[in-house]
Amino acid sequence: MLAVESINVAYGDLQVLWDVSLSVRQGELVALIGANGAGKTTTLRAITGLLRPRSGRILFNGSNLTGLSPHRIVELGIAHVPEGRQLFPLMTVEEHLLLGSFLPRARARRAQNLERVFGIFPILRERLHQPAETLSGGEQQMLAIARALMSDPQVLLLDEPSLGLAPLVVKEVFRIIEQIHREGVTVLLVEQNVQQALAIADRAFVLENGRVVLEGSGSELLDHPEVKKAYLGL
C-alpha cells in the first residue's frame, strides 16, 4: 500500500536519511523505531510531502507521491498526527475536528466520521466546545488523532503519540491505536516507547543515523539481541 523506496533526504547540506526503504501493507500496523535524531520524523515528513526527497520515491497504492503537495497527499488518504500534536490552543475541539475534514472527500463524510470519532473518543464529545488549551495532555493527543481521522484516511501516520504522557495515559493511547487499527485503518507508528510499539506492531523497522538497520515482525524484534540492548535496556 505504502512503499518508501531508497529515499535520501537532507535539510540544506545536512543529509539525514540515506537510502531509506520501508513498506506498509494494507491493514498492517508497522512501527518505526530508533533513537532521538535517527530520522523517524523526517521519514514521516517525506511521506506527507512536507519534505521532498533528493532521490528515491514514495508509492501509495502504486502511484508516485513524490513531489505532490501535502494537501493532495491527505486527499489521497494519508493522514499525519505530528509530533507535539500541533493543536491551535484557542480553537475548540469542534473547530479542530471540522478542520480535519476540510478537504472535499472528507467533507462529504463529515457527519459519519464525527460519530466514529466520538465512538472512539467519547471524552471529545463532552469537551466539544472547549478550547484545546483547556484539555489534558492525553485529551490533546486524542484530539490530534481524532482530527487526523476526520480526514477519512486509509493510512494513519503517528509521530510519537505517547510522548510526555503519564504511564496510564500512554497505555490508553496504545489501546486506542490498536482499536483504530482493528477497525481497518493501516498504521505507521513512530515511537520511542519501543517495548509497547513492538508489542502491538505486525512489523517494524529500526532506523539508526538515517539508515534502516533492522526489520522484522514486532515479536522478532522484541527478541532481537541488538534491540534488547539498544532500546529495551536489557
**Contacting positions for ligand ATP (CB under 6 A):** 11, 14, 16, 34, 36-42, 83
Give the nearer residue to ligand ATP in terms of CB position, either 11 or 233. 11
Q: How far is the CB of 209 from ligand ATP (least distance, A)?
A: 9
Q: How far is the CB of 70 from ligand ATP (least distance, A)?
A: 15
Q: How far is the CB of 71 from ligand ATP (least distance, A)?
A: 20
As to burial, measured by CB atoms within 10 angstroms (0-12 exposed, 13-18 middle, 19+ buried), residue 204 is: buried
Instruction: Report how far residue 72's alpha carbon sits from residue 47's, in angstroms, rounded to the nearest whole number.
Output: 12
Give the nearer residue to ligand ATP in terms of CB position, either 11 or 63. 11
Contacts of 215 (CB under 8 A, 6+ apart): 22, 203, 204, 205, 206, 221
Q: How far is the CB of 85 from ligand ATP (least distance, A)?
A: 14
Contact 31, 205 (CB under 8 A): yes
**Strands across the sheet with 78-81, in order?**
78-81, 155-159, 186-191, 29-33, 203-208, 211-217
Instruction: Report how far residue 49's alpha carbon sits from residue 45's, in angstroms, rounded to the nearest whole number.
Output: 6
Give the nearer residue to ligand ATP in terms of CB position, either 97 or 190. 190
Q: How far is the CB of 137 from ligand ATP (least distance, A)?
A: 17
Amino acid at the residue 56: G
Give the nearer residue to ligand ATP in terms of CB position, either 50 or 120. 50
| Alpha-carbon 132 to chain mean position | 20
* DSSP classification of residue 13: T
Q: How far is the CB of 47 from ligand ATP (least distance, A)?
A: 12
Give the nearer residue to ligand ATP in terms of CB position, either 14 or 111. 14
Give the nearer residue to ligand ATP in terms of CB position, either 38 or 65. 38
